[in-house]
């Protein structure tokens, strides 16, 4: 049995860029966070990893993985910034997928 690889359309990726662009560089504060120990198959090599829900200065709420952090950064009230990072690896024929992550400041 051959397993079909999950692919995201390049058009869908392109359309998401407008949403991502308006979030980049915004600052916010961690409202809550958790550690993901058992992620989906595409993200198993990154586990365990933290995911935080933040309230941005614009008032929007956002949930995204936390990167470039130290254990002391995992606390409510910690200030973060929205950045762009590669979301997953692709083969030679795949489109590289980038998305938003949160970085402590």
Match 């980049």 to its residue by tokens. Answer: 24
pTM: 0.77
- The domain 25-104: what is its CATH number? 2.40.50
| DSSP calls for 80-103 | EEEEEEEEE---TTSPPEEEEEEE
Strands (E), 10-94: 27-36, 49-56, 61-65, 79-88
Residue with the bigger pLDDT between 45 and 103: it is 103
pLDDT in tens, 14-34: 677 777 888 899 999 999 999
Q: Which helix (H) or strand (E) holds 16?
A: helix 10-23
- At 54, list the tokens: 């933040």
């Amino acid at each position: 049995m051959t397993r079909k690889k999950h692919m995201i359309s390049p058009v869908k990726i392109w359309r998401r860029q407008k949403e991502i662009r308006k979030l980049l560089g915004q600052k916010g504060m961690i409202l809550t966070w958790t550690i993901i120990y058992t992620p989906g198959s595409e993200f198993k090599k990154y586990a365990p990893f933290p995911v935080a829900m933040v309230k941005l200065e614009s008032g929007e709420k956002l949930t995204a993985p936390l990167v470039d952090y130290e254990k002391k950064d995992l606390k409510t009230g910690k200030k973060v910034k929205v950045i762009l990072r590669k979301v997953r690896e692709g083969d030679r024929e795949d489109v590289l997928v980038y998305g938003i992550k949160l970085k402590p400041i």
